[in-house]
Structure 1
C-alpha cells in the first residue's frame, strides 16, 4: 500500500513539475509577445500624436486667419447701421465690466453711442424708495410692496424718454436708491440692451425683484424702441426664456463676433432670438444687409 502511494505521489509531483514548466514557458513567451506588442503600440501612438499635433497647428492657423478676417470685415458689416442712435444698457442684478466692453465693441463703426449704463439694485430698498418718492403715490411702497411693479413701469418709461422729458421726473428722485450704480446721462434713448443676472436672494426678496424687473421691462417696451436681452455663451442658467416671456428679442452669445453682429441688427429693428444655444431661432437675422 505504501509503495503504491509513494509512486502516486511521485507521479503527481512529476505532473505538477511539468505543468509549472509549461506555465513558465508560456509566461516567458507571452512576455516577449507583450514586449513586441508594446513596442508596436508605442510606435503607433507616437505617430498618432505627431499627426494630431500637426493637425492642431494647422487648425490654430486657420482659426487665427478666421479671427483676423472677422475683425476686419466686422466694421464693414455694421458701418452706419445705427446712425446717431443713443443706446442704453441696464443690468438687472449683477453687473459685468466684460459685458459693458462687449456692447461698446459691438457699437463701434455703427454710428451709435452707449450713453447710459445702470445697475438695478436687487432686492429693491422699499424704505429708501418710499423716502425718495415722498409726496407721490410711491411714498407708500414700504407699506404697500405691490406698488413696486408700477414703479418699475414708470421708471422704465422714463429711462427711455429721459428725465428732462419725463412727466413728474420720478426717475430723477429715486435713481440713487433704485440703482446700485449709474454711468452716463439719463437723456432720451433710441434703444436699450437688458442683461439679467440675479444674485441668490431669499424668497421674499426674489419676489420683489421679479416684480420690479417685470415692471421695468413693461415700461421700456411701452416706448416702442428696440429692447434686446443679452447674455454670454457661458451664462447659466440662460435668461433667454425669461426674455421671451417679456416679449424681448435676444442674443445669447455676445462674447462671439456673430453675437455682437446680431445685437447690432436687433437694435436696428430685427426681431427674433439669435445665437448658438438651443433656444436660438437663428445665428443672425435674415436679410441683415437690408437693415441699413
Structure 2
C-alpha cells in the first residue's frame, strides 16, 4: 500500500493563517464557554451563534448562574437558534456541574459524556478544545474533509461508520497539542473551504494530495441529499409558539398559542402537545401556557 501523503503539515499551516477569531477559541476561554458554544453550534452556523453565545456568557459566566436562572430564562435567551431543547439540556448539565463537580466543567471526555444531553461528539470537542486533551473529534465537516482527502468520494455516507472512526483515529496526530489543532483545523477547512455544495478547491491546502481531486472530483453518486424543508413543518409551528411565549410577559391562552403556530388546528394541537411533552412549554392551573419555570 502506498504511503499516505502528509495532510497534517499543510492543514495546520493553513489554519494558522486562516482560522477565524472566535471567542470560544481565545486564550482566556473557559470549559463552560466551550461547552455552551459546542451545544449552540450543533446544526447552527457561527454567525447566528456568536451574538447569542456572547449574551449567554455575559449573563451566565458559570454553570451555577445558568442553573439558578432556570429553563424558562434559558429558552427565552435561546432566541432563534432553533432546536430549543438544547437550552434545556444545557440547564440540566449546568445543574449537575454545579452540584457534582464544584461548578467546574469536567476535563475528561468520559465524565463529560455522563452529563445530561452531552453525547460523544460534544464530550470529545470540549475535552479537546477547552482542556487540550487528545480526542477524536468528528463532526459533519470533518467527515467530509477526511472522506474527500483520503477516501475519494464527494460526500461521506449518511451515517457515521466504524471505518470512518478508524480513519479519523489514524489521521489524528500523536502529539497532543497538534491533535487539538488538527481537530479544529479540519472542522474549519470543512466549514470555510471544503464545503458540501461549492468547495473552493483552489484555496485548499490539501488540493495537491486530495484523493477526490486526483480522481477528477467526481459528483456524489449515492442517494440524493435532500435539504430539510422548513415552510409548513412542525418545527416551524413549534418555533412560532415558543417565540410568541418569549415575547409575552404573561401567559398565552390555548387559542392564542394555537394561532401563534400559524398552522392548521390539528397540526397546531400536535405541536403544542409536543412542546408540553418536551418540557419547553408548561400549562398553569388556569389553563394558560408559559415557558418552563
| TM bracket, shorter-chain basis | under 0.3
TM-score by length of 1: 0.24
Greater Cα radius of gyration, structure 1 or 2: 1
